[in-house]
A and B are shown apart, each in its own frame.
Chain A
């Protein structure tokens, strides 16, 4: 097994370093956007969520080896459906529980 592993693992962990830098940059960008109050609330929220989604991709591809599998990549399929349902749960709950703006917390 030695050989197969080292075949893909180069001498230096470039991918990891790039991933790390990217994740720090994305985090800092969101941080700055919020604390500097550069944009309106809605824009800010949309942008920081998008930055978060990019972070997921960084983790998945640079660290979690999402592309690796033996045979069909079932975990990726399940993960995609999972993300759909996450949106349904979180988005759906907020939508439902807002009661069309009739109920104020």
Chain B
């Protein structure tokens, strides 16, 4: 387990007040990291509202396909595997980042992005296949909730891919500086968070649907 090291060690003594000299440290990593955690927490609540809605609506199929009929086991298993693996490679990227190695950080980020793209591709494929079979969002309350929950996660993943591409450009140009370090570190929190959300989609949507 990692030892407590804050991403930007340029601060002085710790305590209630971190900022002493300036209103804004130029590369005040810990402030940004806290801010980003707070963003993650609001996202957590957002997803939990979507989960709550899905769980309330999963039985409301209005004569359309039920979860059991809809879910494609190999499909979502591969999606899960890709995303879990990408979370791992993302961890490796931050590992290299901490060692100050820009090139290998970028390397692992590229792998992560490819895995992420694979995930998004599979999901898009799943959605299109379902829709062509008539299981569209308009078919039932269950399907509205399903597409919205899973799709919101998919949008987050796609956004994460776009975002990290911007960061890779900056890493390539500037190397590992306190600022690029902080940016990539924050992105990695985002990516792992999406993995957590997916684990619950996997559990509460797919496995839950199949168990019934």
Contacts and interface: CB of A to CB of B under 8 A. Distances in A.
Direct contact of A and B (CB under 8 A): yes
Interface of A: 1-2, 4-9, 13, 15-17, 19-20, 23-24, 27, 30-31, 34-35, 37, 41, 44-45, 48-49, 51-52, 55-56, 59-65, 67-72, 74-75, 78-79, 82, 85-86, 89-90, 92-94, 97, 105
Given A19-B91, A34-B207, A64-B192, A1 B45 contact: no
Nearest to A67: B4
A35 B33 CA distance: 40
B181 interface: yes
27 contacts: A1-B8, A1-B10, A2-B100, A4-B5, A5-B5, A5-B100, A8-B3, A13-B95, A20-B91, A30-B203, A49-B203, A59-B192, A59-B195, A63-B88, A63-B90, A68-B4, A70-B14, A70-B18, A70-B33, A71-B18, A74-B37, A75-B37, A78-B41, A86-B44, A86-B45, A86-B48, A89-B45
Report whether over half of chain A's contact residues are helix, strand or loop; otherwise say mixed. Answer: helix
A82 B4 CA distance: 22
A97 B56 contact: yes
Contact of B95 (A16, A78, A89): A16
Interface stretch (B77-85, B120-128, B129-137, B161-169): B77-85
Contacts, number: 174
Contacts of A97: 56
Interface in B65-116: 73, 77, 80-81, 84-85, 87-88, 90-92, 95, 97-100
Given A5-B5, A24-B84, A63-B90, 5 more contacts: A8-B98, A20-B88, A64-B192, A70-B33, A85-B48
Report whether over half of chain B's contact residues are helix, strand or loop; otherwise say mixed. Answer: helix
A36 B71 CA distance: 16
A90 B55 contact: yes
A49 B207 CA distance: 10
B1 to A, nearest CB: 6
A15 B38 CA distance: 25
Interface centre among A41, A55, A72 (most CB of B within 10 A): A55
B158 interface: no
A65 B2 contact: yes
Contacts of A90: 48, 51-52, 55
A86 B41 CA distance: 10
Contacts of A62: 1, 91
Contacts of B5: 4-5, 7-8, 68
